[in-house]
Amino acid sequence: MTEPLLFDTAFDFAEGVAMVKMGDCLGFIDHTGDLAITIADPNIGVVSSFSEDRAVARAGDYHGYIDRTGEWAIEVQFKQAKSFSSGLAAVQTDGKYGYINRQGDRMIAPQFDLAESFSEGLATVKLDDQYGYINPTGEAVIPIQFRDAWSFSESLAVVKLDRQLGYLDSSGQIAIEPQFDGAFNFSESLARVRIEDAWGYINPEGERVIDLAFNFASDFSEGLAVVLVQRQWGYIDSTGNIVIEPQFDFASDFSEGLAAVQVGGVYGYIDKTGKFAVEPQFKNAAPFSEGFARVQMGDRWTFIDSTGQYMAYRPL
């Protein structure tokens, strides 16, 4: 039987590599399990996944970015730093957030109390307890005016006015009137919403297309969504029909055709018929990404493929 390649810490695969840590060894492995990127600076203690060929790295109390050689691409200098998106990353200096490019040049001066990554050409920013949206030049194209605001997804963004949540379009107009106690991003043309303790789904016109009938609901992914019915987790399709009966102690979104579920205190993976593709046996389990999923065995992590085969042991 193949001996699994075990790590103290592991992240999901992104851009062809996954961050792993074993003892004092910190680096990135490729899909074969070989060490593809060695972290050059021994002072680096935490590294994120790669995004646009840059990974956030922390040394001491400050952050910078490494490239795929494992060297500093942008020297450690930021109190906080977020992943790159659309060529820009939000960073915090002197208590304020601004944006830099992949070379580390300041593109939008630090001026915000909070700043999120760009999505669909706009980024959420916060100033004096209110939120709005800027474009990549730093112009406030949707004025700072909301009590809360989320990133755009499928041309709509959740915003909060008074105590209720609704949706904004990219022109800054309210597309769906604030009426929900909970509201989340659109995914596959549906968004989960909550009124009091009941969850359901709306379409981009704000119509309730799946009744508020669930104790909890997740975003749609690969045509299915996790729902909670009387303490058991199952899956519905985009019409609201239950296609995998609520039967699990916990369930997660589908990714690459499989979903991690928990039964009897351990995790395995099901396919879209609800049958186990990988039998329950793990202490914890993450979604599949680039053909592999992180799973926890005891206090260590390893990777499996969609058949449940372990990434084979090899010394780092």
Q: What's the pLDDT tens digit per position in 215-256?
A: 999 999 999 999 999 999 999 999 999 999 999 999 999 999
| pLDDT on residue 312 | 80
Burial class of residue 95, CB neighbours in 10 A (0-12, 13-18, 19+): exposed
Total number of residues shown for the chain: 316
Question: pLDDT at residue 155 above 90?
Answer: yes
Q: Which domains, from first to last, does the chain contain?
A: 39-146 (2.20.25)
Residue 303, number of CB atoms within 10 A of its CB: 27
Burial class of residue 279, CB neighbours in 10 A (0-12, 13-18, 19+): exposed
pLDDT, tens only, 22-51: 988 899 999 999 999 999 899 999 999 999
- Residues 6+ positions from 307 with CB-CB distance below 8 Å: 277, 278
Rg of the Cα trace of the chain?
Answer: 21
Q: Select from 268, 273, 274, 262 the least CA-distant residue to 306.
A: 268
The residues pairing with 282 across neighbouring beta strands, listed in sequence order, are 267
Pairing of strands 62-66, 55-59: antiparallel
Please give the share of the chain, as a percent, with pLDDT higher than 70.
98
Do residues 261 and 267 make contact, with C-beta atoms less than 8 angstroms apart?
yes
pLDDT, tens only, 87-120: 999 999 999 999 999 999 999 999 999 999 999 9
